[in-house]
Amino acid sequence: MSGNSVFPTPVGASHGATHTNGTDDIQDATAAQKGVATAAQITKLDGLSNYTHPNHTGDVTSVADGAQTIAANAVTLAKMADIATQTFLGRTTAATGDPEALTLLQATALLNVFTSSLKGLAPASGGGTTKFLRADVTWAVPPGGGGGSPTYEAHTSSDTLTEGETGSIHSNKGASGIITLTLPASPATNVSYLIIREAAFALRVAPNTGQNFQYSGSLATTVTKYLEIDVDDDLGLMEVLWNGSKWVVIRELDSFNEEA
């Protein structure tokens, strides 16, 4: 474009009137008006620095903007979650993990049974009312059944005696033939039985698998087969006791035979 150019004047106002200060100068920026930052504003901006979070203190601690950490010993019992009455805190689930609220049964299962050198729980008794707890962590009945009158049982068929029947009397009264009474497989030391033949048939007393007898006449004599109380006119009687390794005939009346 050459020569003089003429630009139209804005309708309704002069160009300078459109600025806040009424001039053609570029205006300063203010809170209410866009514009160019002033020297004072630039100086203020230069004085700013990155914000740093203050350190936390107390139960929860941190350094600047670092991770927050619960202080040692800050979580008291009162600040822990409530638990039910008769509850233990522990863990039964395998592997490392969160604590768990344990029942009495679960807590008991975590504890050891006592040994000859360490404290601990008593093992299950297996029932009964006359047993006592031995130092070898086994329950046993005192010789003679723990007091009171001994139990009497008449067997009319073969049977296996139990440890709980220790101190009792066993007979073949009423039997119609030969019967065999087998002694228990894993008795506690001092378990004993009194065996009486009252019927007109032989009465056999047999050790369990892997057991044997020792009887008078020769203390070195041992048998792994049954002993049979003879059939004759006299009352036959035998008392046997487990000494921890074998059945010992501690009393006898009349004779008996070893199994052939």
Query: pLDDT tens across 196-210, in order?
Result: 999 888 899 999 998
Q: Are residues 156 and 216 in the same domain?
A: yes
Nearest CA to 250 among 173, 185, 193, 168?
Answer: 193
The domain that contains 170 carries what CATH number? 2.60.120
Q: Are residues 128 and 187 in the same domain?
A: no
Tokens at 162, concatenated: 């139990």
Decide which of 83, 112, 140 is a domain's last residue: 140
Name the band, by pLDDT with cuts 50, 70 and 90, for residue 16.
very low
- Confirm whether 81 is domain-assigned: no
Taking the C-alpha atoms of residue 111 and residue 72, their distance in angstroms, rounded to an integer, is: 29
- Furthest-apart CA pair in the chain: how many Å? 164
pTM above 0.75, yes or no: no
- Confirm whether 194 is domain-assigned: yes
- Confirm whether 39 is domain-assigned: no
Q: Are residues 129 and 179 in the same domain?
A: no
The pLDDT tens digits for 83-103 are 999 999 999 999 999 999 999
3-state secondary structure of 108: helix
The whole domain housing 229 covers 152-258
Evaluate if residue 33 carries a pLDDT over 60: yes
The pLDDT tens digits for 127-169 are 777 778 877 788 876 655 455 578 899 999 999 999 888 889 9
Q: Are residues 136 and 172 in the same domain?
A: no
Q: Are residues 237 and 182 in the same domain?
A: yes
Q: Are residues 221 and 175 in the same domain?
A: yes
Q: Are residues 130 and 159 in the same domain?
A: no
Evaluate if residue 124 carries a pLDDT over 80: yes
State how many domains the chain has.
2
Decide which of 111, 140, 169 is a domain's last residue: 140
- Confirm whether 61 is domain-assigned: no
Q: Are residues 113 and 170 in the same domain?
A: no
Taking the C-alpha atoms of residue 100 and residue 90, their distance in angstroms, rounded to an integer, is: 5
Q: Are residues 157 and 242 in the same domain?
A: yes
Q: Phi then psi for 89, rounded to 5 degrees?
A: -95, 125
Beta bridge partners of 227: 205, 258
- Confirm whether 32 is domain-assigned: no
Please, is 166 exposed, middle or buried when counting C-beta atoms within 10 Å of its C-beta (0-12, 13-18, 19+)?
buried
Q: Round the average pLDDT of the chain to a whole number and report it.
A: 81
- Do the Cβ atoms of 94 and 100 come closer than 8 Å? no
Nearest CA to 203 among 246, 232, 223, 165?
Answer: 232
Taking the C-alpha atoms of residue 249 and residue 62, their distance in angstroms, rounded to an integer, is: 80
The reported pLDDT for the residue numbered 87 is: 92
Decide which of 140, 162, 187 is a domain's last residue: 140
- Do the Cβ atoms of 172 and 155 come closer than 8 Å? yes
Q: Are residues 114 and 201 in the same domain?
A: no
- Do the Cβ atoms of 90 and 110 come closer than 8 Å? yes
Taking the C-alpha atoms of residue 18 and residue 23, their distance in angstroms, rounded to an integer, is: 8
- Confirm whether 209 is domain-assigned: yes
Name the band, by pLDDT with cuts 50, 70 and 90, for residue 22.
low
- Confirm whether 82 is domain-assigned: no
Tokens at 191, concatenated: 């378990």
- Confirm whether 180 is domain-assigned: yes
- The letter for the amino acid at 218 is S
Q: Are residues 175 and 221 in the same domain?
A: yes
- What number is the average pLDDT over the span 34-40? 85
Q: Are residues 119 and 165 in the same domain?
A: no
